Chain A
Amino acid sequence: MVLVNEEDDGALVQRSIHGDRAAFGQLVVRYQKPVYNAALKLLRDAEEARDVAQTTFLNVFEHLADYDPSFKFYSWIYRIAINESLNALGKRRPYEAVSGEEPDGAPGPDREAEGAQIRGVIEDALMSITPELRAVVVLRHVMQLSYQDMAETLSLPEKTVKSRLYSARQLLRDILAQEGAI
């Protein structure tokens, strides 16, 4: 979960719009981790996720003047990140396999041994559902967004977001149950 002060975001956005690059740098520092992780979970490729994150921030910078402050800034930036990730997935050739390698969160050796297999099974399962369903799972379980924030981020009705989330969980449940992971 990213704890933010919306006023601070708004002030940084305004300073960035007026050419204060240091202010934009602060926004990047604040949001680089969730943006990178959203891309990483959607793409499961560290290098591609880094490129998507960079493109996301450059898009944000380029369109800062278009940002509507009646929306949460993080919803806006996450929407761009999700769309860039989906675009990157769309550009993949059909036979292109994902690397299956992610940078580790540096757990201790015991946890590494204990959780690596389960993590791999969960990530495999996540990659086997459609990108649209995966996106809601990432927003809910990785970014910890509420239904309302997910709806705002994806520009979808809350009802649709919930429907997608429940469908995604049902599919993941079936896959993980087959693998004996739940």
Chain B
Amino acid sequence: MADSAQLALVHAEIDGELDDRQRAELARCLLADPAFRAKRDELRRLCGRLDSMKQVDPPTELLDGVLASLPQSKAPGGRFRMPVGSWRYAAMLAGVLITGTIVFRLTDGQGTVATEMAGTLAGSRAPHSIDLAEISRGAVAGKASLTQQGSGLALALQLTAGAPVDVSVASGKQSLAIKGLSVGHTVTALTGFERTGQPVNLTFMAGGREVGRASLE
């Protein structure tokens, strides 16, 4: 009958944790006791079954959920904490806001109500902010703001960066490159860009690699 010390040798053998002395001891026990050999075979079959529990791919939304839940403007160690599962509610809220924005834009300029609303928020010809995004990716940080100036669009950037940053601006078929930004506030007219409902995507590059992204609606 196998004792617990002998069984421990079998477990260690299966787990690849035997040293030479233990291996010799196990071999001696196996030779001497057929019942022990049967026990070892059974344990090996069991562990083979357990090893067959394969890992599955995590759901794709896990990564997005984690990144979306990180605090926006703090390095690790801050106290911000989003409760478990709350990314789902955040996604629902975002959906409601986007839907609301789309509905508003569909009516913007086409109906009396929307025109009056815009007029009350700001003068119809005065520059006003359309969307604002915070950028905090380490190498570049700051704010990007999309503004309406007359009939055109402009991009205001307030950046802090350790090295000169190039910004690629794209929306639909329109694109624009802003070179060599470092710190401070800049405003660039987005010639040819129009409010079509498509996002204005910003890609920040430094030293030949992407260091940040932002999207303005």
A positions within 8 Å CB-CB of B: 15-25, 28-29, 32-37, 40-41, 46, 50-55, 57-58, 61-66, 102-105, 115, 118-119, 122-123, 126, 137, 140-142, 146-147, 162, 165-166, 169, 172-173, 176-177, 181-182
Count how many pairs of residues, one from A and one from B, have CB atoms less than 8 Å apart in the complex.
150
Q: Which of A36, A50, A146, A176 contacts B17 (CB 8 A)?
A: A146
Q: Does the CB pair A63–B11 fall under 8 Å?
A: no
B45 within 8 A of A: yes
Q: How far is the CB of A30 from chain B (nearest CB, A)?
A: 11
Among A16, A169, A181, chain B packs the most CB atoms within 10 A around the CB of: A169
- What are the 9 closest A-B residue pairs judged by CB atoms, nearest first? A20-B138, A36-B58, A64-B76, A141-B50, A19-B75, A37-B55, A65-B77, A57-B66, A105-B56
Q: Does the CB pair B57–A33 fall under 8 Å?
A: yes
Stretch in B80-88, B107-115, B122-130 with 4+ CB within 8 Å of A: B80-88
- Decide: A25 near B53, CB < 8 A? Known: A61-B76, A62-B77, A169-B11: no
Which secondary structure characterizes the binding site on chain A?
helix
Q: Does the CB pair B75–A17 fall under 8 Å?
A: yes
B62 within 8 A of A: yes
Residues in chain B near residue A57, CB distance under 8 A: 66
Q: Which of B43, B53, B75 contacts A18 (CB 8 A)?
A: B75
Residue of B with least CB distance to A41: B53
B1-40, CB < 8 A from A: 7-8, 11-12, 15, 17
B65 within 8 A of A: yes
Q: How far is the CB of A48 from chain B (nearest CB, A)?
A: 9
**Given A17-B75, A33-B58, list of 19 further CB < 8 A pairs?**
A15-B138, A17-B76, A19-B136, A19-B138, A24-B70, A25-B63, A28-B66, A36-B59, A53-B58, A54-B66, A54-B84, A58-B82, A62-B79, A64-B76, A105-B56, A119-B53, A142-B55, A166-B11, A173-B46
Residues in chain B near residue A105, CB distance under 8 A: 54-57
Residues in chain B near residue A147, CB distance under 8 A: 15, 17
B positions within 8 Å CB-CB of A: 7-8, 11-12, 15, 17, 42-43, 45-47, 49-59, 61-63, 65-67, 69-70, 74-82, 84-85, 87, 136-139, 141, 211
> How far apart are the CA atoms of A21 and B138 in the complex, in Å?
7
